Amino acid sequence: MTFNDEWAQLKSEARDRQAAQMRLNAAAPDPGGSGSGANADLVVHQDDLGKVGNEAFKVHGELQKQADIAGAGMSKGGVGSTAQAAAELQGRNFSAGDELYTTLEVWTSQVKTVLQMCAHISNHLDYSKKWHAEDEAEIAASLRRRNGSAVSASEIAKYVK
């Protein structure tokens, strides 16, 4: 095979490989309306946010009551039963006492993290609902004429151009 024949074959194979590759410069519009156009905005209803925030609040309350192994079975001195068991094991020279303390610390830390996340979700959604409601009221007020009638869509379009 000559150099020119081999070169032509390599170019042809490269072209075939390139044609088989997929290039994606833009996503095709979704026929369901979620791709582009008038329905491109994210829509979340106040009821949806309220339900998520409420569930986060419930999870926070239940987790706080039921996952507190540090405070479970608390003695008069304020020491929970798990910490009491760890101290008893340590006092009898069992290495499991130290491990039980470590387990208690890790568990407590992780429960606090989950509690903080639930509180953050609940509080943030409450704040978001209030903030967006205020924005909506402000926008609605600014899109009214002095006499209170709504501004037409064609008039709004003048500001966009």
Angle between helix axes 96-142 and 81-91 (nearest 10 degrees) is: 150
pTM above 0.85, yes or no: no
What's the mean per-residue pLDDT of the chain?
Answer: 77
For residues 8 and 13, give the distance between their C-alpha atoms in angstroms, rounded to a whole number.
9
Q: Where does residue 67 rank: exposed (0-12), middle (13-18), buried (19+ CB within 10 A)?
A: middle
Q: Rounded to whole angstroms, what are the CA distances from 26 to 20, 29, 31, 41?
A: 18, 9, 15, 18
Distances (CA, A) of 24 to 17, 20, 28, 37, 144: 16, 13, 9, 19, 43
Is the alpha carbon torsion for 142, 146, 149, 154 positive or negative? negative
pLDDT 10s digits, 95-146: 999 999 999 999 889 989 999 998 888 888 777 777 877 887 777 777 777 7
Residue 4, pLDDT above cutoff 80: yes
DSSP at 72:
T
| Residue 40: per-residue pLDDT | 44
